[in-house]
Amino acid sequence: MVWRIIKYLEHQLYRRHRKGRGIHPPYLFSFVHDVVFNTPGTDIPHEISEMHRNLWKDRTMIGERTVGSFVCGSSVSPRYGELLFRITRWFCPDMILELGTGLGVSTMYLGQGYPGVPLHSIEGNTERAAFAAQLVCRCHLEQVSIHWGDLDRKLEEILPQLDGRFVAFVDANHSYEPTIRYVRAILEKAGDEAVIIMDDIYWSRGMSRAWKEVISWPGISVSIDLFHMGILLLRKDLNKAHVKIKS
Ligand SMILES: C[S@@+](CC[C@H](N)C(=O)[O-])C[C@H]1O[C@@H](n2cnc3c(N)ncnc32)[C@H](O)[C@@H]1O
């Protein structure tokens, strides 16, 4: 915990850019300006925000915890959910992949951002996967498939379908080795352009190490460190750039 606070303070101190000012190249500037920061006209549908608020209050037991406690403690916040929504809406992917469905909150934002393309989400816990499947039905996200099972096994089944332009959200096992393995496997499927989002990049020393290592790989052109999330913009024609941003 103390380590995370120190990392947070470091991030606040060393972040360089506010609202995209001073960022090059233009592609990265436009991503930061138009997508990371909420610009007028990119508001989230009211039903999604309401659904999220209702989940906070939901006392249904899922395993040892209530839905509300899981959603408050382990799901994306509305702010970061909205960012996921804006990313899929901006990127217009051919497919969306999510590792770690939880109760389906992030799935709901990713899917609403660009409905109509397949979204495959993997969750290892049966009860959570079942709850998430109901949630996406309530949001009328027919394109979403929740895959219940161990990530390594399910990823092996789904990866051959991952093609073209995709958005991948990695929010499952928050430790070094599996994170590196998942991101590497996804990266190998990237064509000319893709987006990989890693959640909780300073959750632990292991996650921070994984993030540092991933952004040093030659295949990673642009990386954006928002402290709570790390975004990798993959495009073959971009030079390497790394920015730390207070969102
Ligand atoms: C932080 S939660 C996901 C929250 C969700 N992305 C959201 O924001 O709404 C991480 C989930 O990953 C799942 N998970 C962790 N390791 C896994 C594994 N090896 N196989 C399948 N699921 C796993 C956990 O069961 C947990 O529900």
Is residue 121 within 6 Å of ligand 1 at its C-beta?
no
Q: Express each pLDDT in 5-63 by its tens digit.
A: 777 777 776 655 555 566 767 888 889 888 998 765 567 889 999 999 999 999 999 99
Question: Could you tell me what percent of the chain has a pLDDT over 90?
Answer: 73
H or E stretch covering 111: helix 105-113
Q: How confident is the model at residue 156 (pLDDT cuts 50, 70, 90)?
A: very high
As a dihedral over the C-alpha atoms of residue 54, residue 55, residue 61, residue 66, rounded to 10 degrees, the angle is: -110
Is residue 158 within 6 Å of ligand 1 at its C-beta?
no
List the residue whose alpha carbon is closest to atom 7 of ligand 1.
Answer: 75
Does this model's pTM top 0.85? My answer is yes
Q: How confident is the model at residue 214 (pLDDT cuts 50, 70, 90)?
A: very high
State how far the Cα of 76 lies from the Cα of 117, in Å rounded to an integer. Answer: 22
Is residue 171 within 6 Å of ligand 1 at its C-beta?
yes
Q: Express each pLDDT in 54-97 by its tens digit.
A: 999 999 999 999 999 999 999 999 999 999 999 999 999 999 99
State how far the Cα of 81 lies from the Cα of 69, in Å rounded to an integer. Answer: 17
Of the candidates 40, 41, 19, which has an alpha carbon nearest to the alpha carbon of residue 30? Answer: 19
Pocket test for ligand 1, best of 69, 125, 198 (most atoms within 8 A of CB): 125
State how far the Cα of 151 lies from the Cα of 186, in Å rounded to an integer. Answer: 13
3-state secondary structure of 9: helix
Q: How far is the CA of 104 from the centre of ligand 1 (A)?
A: 10
Which residue segments constitute the domains of the chain, with CATH numbers given?
Answer: 2-44+80-244 (3.40.50.150)
